[in-house]
């Protein structure tokens, strides 16, 4: 930038970029790292690498959803995942709190309604402030940000196509694929792609969702169904087999039951057949009840598919480079040369949801990204530990878990060796359904990582009165058949 002083003396000075420093690469075009994807993993990796004085660029681009929704920098978590989800989950719980407050002496009206526009606008404004925050952070950490679609020309050249059409070639020593995944909508169902919304759209819906059908049994279907029901919408969840198949099944059933008791309708063992729009613009869903093969029909205002998330890697040109992907999921294989995130091409890595067979969680992507940057540029040898990763399903009654399910424990160690999920004294898994389960489980996850044993747990004194103390008071085994319902203190 040039400034001309308009007073009697004229001088010209050139202002240097804030964090001007010499880069060690041979030409100004060479990057040490190019990250494709500006989500949880990508941003963390880029910032960590830049902290180590490396020249880094991050590419981020959002291909619009099937319904045309798009968003800013930050990836799934910030824009269409964790953040808006948790805010809406909290909003729905506040409704419960308002209703409960009457019994505690608060003067509240008998009927309280939630206003979707007020809520969604507030959530969207918060998300946009986070998009901005990420832009500022990248600038502060001297990471170059390019809003464009990246692909590989060769292992050391990333082609980026910006939204205005200009193309650039970035020469780089290393690259990280952090493009994440997107909702999968079964296109073979007539009307699904045309009329079906997904989690990409729900948080950005301008109009109120109204009577909603969620198709799917994943945590996404249940979390969204949970808060929509809590906000007062007529909510149905269509499940083909069982809810939360990836989780401990006893806990999954308890979650579903708690949601049903709050008024969410589960259409079990049903599959959608077609979706059409009626003359009033509402959606007519034909579905089949698999138990009796009967076809039924019902009208909804909104239909949301939560039928899995898949990788969209066909634009990256991975095949030409020989980067191996899983044929079913299209996710990138890591694990080459004993590095969890290294792909089949030596200088190219994958982190976050796009990495095959790893938990699709923000903190996992962030940590993997940071550790990768340390290995690439900081001389570290530390690999990401994908074991004992805690997580929580934010249904109205939350389900927090660290470790393995009972099914997995039995299949690994044999039923005779498992007692209320304990292998001898070693704790293999801890599952909790209750309010604030997410907050409770975090501390126990640390305990398990430090090798907490059953004796250690049961020898700990509880904090009273809390939900968390129930964990240290556990004493009834499933095998005993005794009734675990707590009656008194």
Catalytic residues: 464
Nearer to another protein (CB atom), residue 6 or residue 293: 6
Nearer to another protein (CB atom), residue 8 or residue 292: 8
Q: Which of 90, 99, 126, 207 binds another protein (CB under 8 A)?
A: 126
Contacts with 391 (C-beta within 8 Å, 6 or more apart), sequence order: 359, 361, 400, 401, 402
Query: C-alpha distances in angstroms, 412 versus 31, 246, 404, 432, 455?
Result: 46, 16, 10, 21, 22
Q: Least separation, in Å, of the C-beta of 29 and another protein?
A: 21
Contacts with 196 (C-beta within 8 Å, 6 or more apart), sequence order: 66, 185, 215, 275, 303, 304, 305
* Among 3-11, 105-113, 172-180, 383-391, the segment contacting another protein (CB under 8 A): 3-11
Q: Which of 30, 98, 114, 135 binds another protein (CB under 8 A)?
A: 135
Nearer to another protein (CB atom), residue 1 or residue 291: 1
Q: Which of 86, 128, 240, 242 binds another protein (CB under 8 A)?
A: 128
* Among 132-140, 159-167, 266-274, 306-314, the segment contacting another protein (CB under 8 A): 132-140
Q: Which of 1, 10, 28, 63 binds another protein (CB under 8 A)?
A: 1
* Among 126-134, 169-177, 392-400, 412-420, the segment contacting another protein (CB under 8 A): 126-134
Q: Least separation, in Å, of the C-beta of 46 and another protein?
A: 16
Quick one: tokens of 483? 């009734």
Residues of this chain, 137-196, that bind another protein according to CB under 8 A: 139-140
Q: Which of 7, 9, 280, 464 binds another protein (CB under 8 A)?
A: 7
Residue 261 engages another protein in binding (rule: CB under 8 A): no
Residues 355 and 329 sit within 8 Å (Cβ to Cβ): no
Q: What are phi and psi of 437, to 5 degrees?
A: -55, -35
Nearer to another protein (CB atom), residue 3 or residue 23: 3
Q: What is the 3-state secondary structure (H, E, C) of the chain?
A: CEEECCCCCCCEEECCCCCCCCCCCCCCCEEEEEEECCCHHHHHHHHHHHHCCCCEEEEECCCCCCCCCCCCCCHHHHHHCHHHHHHHHHHHHHHHHHHHHHHHCCCCCCCCCCCHHHHHHHHHHHHHHHHHHHHHHHHHCCCEEEEEEEEEEECCEEEEEECCCCEEEEEEEEEEECCCEEECCCCCCCCHHHHCECHHHHCCCCCCCCCEEEECCCHHHHHHHHHHHHCCCCEEEEECCCCCCCCCHHHHHHHHHHHHHCCCEEEECEEEEEEEECCCCCEEEEEEECCCCEEEEEEECEEEECCCEEECCCCCCHHHHCCCECCCCCCECCCHHHCCCECCCCCEEECHHHECCCCCCHHHHHHHHHHHHHHHHCCCCCCCCCCCCCEEECCCCEEEEEECCHHHHHHHHCHHHECCCCECCECCEEEEEECCHHHHHHHHHHHHHCCCEHHHHHCCCCCCCCCCHHHHCCCCCCCCCCCCCCCCC
223 labelled as ligand-binding? yes
220 labelled as ligand-binding? yes
86 labelled as ligand-binding? yes
Q: Least separation, in Å, of the C-beta of 70 and another protein?
A: 13
Residues of this chain, 96-125, that bind another protein according to CB under 8 A: 124-125
* Among 6-14, 99-107, 296-304, 372-380, the segment contacting another protein (CB under 8 A): 6-14
Q: Least separation, in Å, of the C-beta of 3 and another protein?
A: 6
Nearer to another protein (CB atom), residue 66 or residue 124: 124
Nearer to another protein (CB atom), residue 115 or residue 140: 140
Q: Which of 3, 64, 115, 294 binds another protein (CB under 8 A)?
A: 3
Q: How many CA atoms lie within 13 A of 9 on its CB side?
A: 2
Nearer to another protein (CB atom), residue 61 or residue 266: 61
Residue 136 engages another protein in binding (rule: CB under 8 A): yes
Q: Is the dihedral of CA 339, 341, 345, 346 positive or negative?
A: negative
Q: Which of 9, 10, 14, 18 binds another protein (CB under 8 A)?
A: 18
469 labelled as ligand-binding? no
Residues 58 and 144 sit within 8 Å (Cβ to Cβ): yes
Q: Least separation, in Å, of the C-beta of 49 and another protein?
A: 20
* Among 28-36, 47-55, 128-136, 196-204, the segment contacting another protein (CB under 8 A): 128-136
221 labelled as ligand-binding? yes
Q: Least separation, in Å, of the C-beta of 93 and another protein?
A: 23
Nearer to another protein (CB atom), residue 43 or residue 368: 43
92 labelled as ligand-binding? no
Q: Least separation, in Å, of the C-beta of 28 and another protein?
A: 20
Q: Which of 6, 280, 293, 464 binds another protein (CB under 8 A)?
A: 6
Q: Least separation, in Å, of the C-beta of 347 and another protein?
A: 30
Binding site for NAD(+): what residues are annotated? 216-223, 308
Question: Which residues of this chain interact with another protein, rule CB under 8 A?
Answer: 1, 3-8, 18, 124-126, 128-129, 132, 135-136, 139-140
Binding site: what residues are annotated? 86, 150, 216-223, 308, 353
């Amino acid at each position: 930038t040039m400034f001309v002083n308009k007073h009697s003396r004229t001088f010209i000075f050139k202002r240097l970029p804030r964090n001007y420093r010499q880069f060690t690469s041979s030409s100004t075009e060479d990057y040490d790292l190019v990250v494709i994807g500006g989500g949880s993993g990508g941003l963390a990796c880029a910032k960590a690498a830049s902290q180590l004085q490396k020249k880094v660029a991050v590419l981020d681009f959002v291909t619009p959803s099937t319904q045309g929704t798009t968003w800013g920098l930050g990836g799934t978590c910030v824009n269409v995942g964790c953040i808006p989800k948790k805010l809406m989950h909290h909003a729905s719980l506040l409704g419960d709190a308002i209703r409960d407050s009457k019994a505690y002496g608060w003067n509240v009206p008998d009927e309280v309604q939630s206003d979707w526009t007020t809520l969604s606008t507030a959530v969207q404004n918060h998300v946009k402030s986070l998009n901005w925050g990420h832009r500022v952070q990248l600038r502060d950490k001297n990471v170059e940000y390019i809003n464009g679609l990246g692909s590989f020309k060769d292992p050391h050249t990333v082609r980026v196509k910006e939204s205005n059409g200009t193309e650039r070639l970035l020469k780089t020593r290393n690259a990280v694929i952090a493009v994440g995944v997107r909702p999968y909508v079964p296109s073979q169902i007539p009307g699904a792609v045309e009329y079906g919304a997904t989690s990409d759209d729900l948080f950005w819906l301008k109009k109120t969702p109204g009577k909603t059908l969620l198709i799917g049994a994943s945590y996404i279907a249940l979390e969204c169904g949970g808060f929509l029901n809590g906000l007062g919408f007529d909510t149905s969840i269509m499940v083909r087999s069982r809810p939360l198949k990836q989780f401990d099944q006893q806990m999954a059933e308890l979650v579903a039951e708690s949601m049903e008791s709050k008024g969410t309708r589960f259409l079990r063992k049903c599959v959608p057949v077609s979706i059409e729009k009626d003359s009033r613009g509402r959606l007519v869903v034909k579905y089949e009840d698999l138990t009796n093969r009967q076809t039924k029909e019902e009208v909804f205002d909104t239909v949301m598919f939560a039928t899995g998330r898949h990788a969209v890697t066909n634009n990256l040109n991975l095949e030409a480079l020989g980067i191996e992907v899983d044929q079913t999921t299209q996710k990138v294989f890591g694990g080459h040369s004993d590095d969890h995130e290294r792909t089949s091409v030596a200088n190219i890595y994958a982190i976050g949801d796009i990495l095959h067979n790893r938990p699709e969680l923000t903190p996992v992507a962030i940590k993997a990204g940071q550790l990768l940057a340390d290995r690439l540029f900081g001389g570290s040898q530390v690999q990401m530990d994908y074991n004992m990763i805690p997580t929580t399903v934010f249904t109205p009654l939350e389900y927090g878990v660290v470790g393995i399910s009972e099914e997995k424990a039995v299949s690994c160690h044999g039923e005779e060796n498992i007692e209320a999920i304990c292998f001898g004294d070693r704790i293999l898994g801890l599952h909790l359904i209750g309010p604030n389960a997410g907050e409770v489980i975090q501390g126990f996850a640390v305990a398990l990582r430090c090798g907490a044993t059953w004796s250690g747990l049961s020898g700990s004194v509880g904090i009273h009165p809390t939900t968390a103390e129930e964990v240290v008071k556990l004493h009834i085994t499933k095998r005993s058949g005794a009734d675990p319902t707590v009656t008194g203190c």
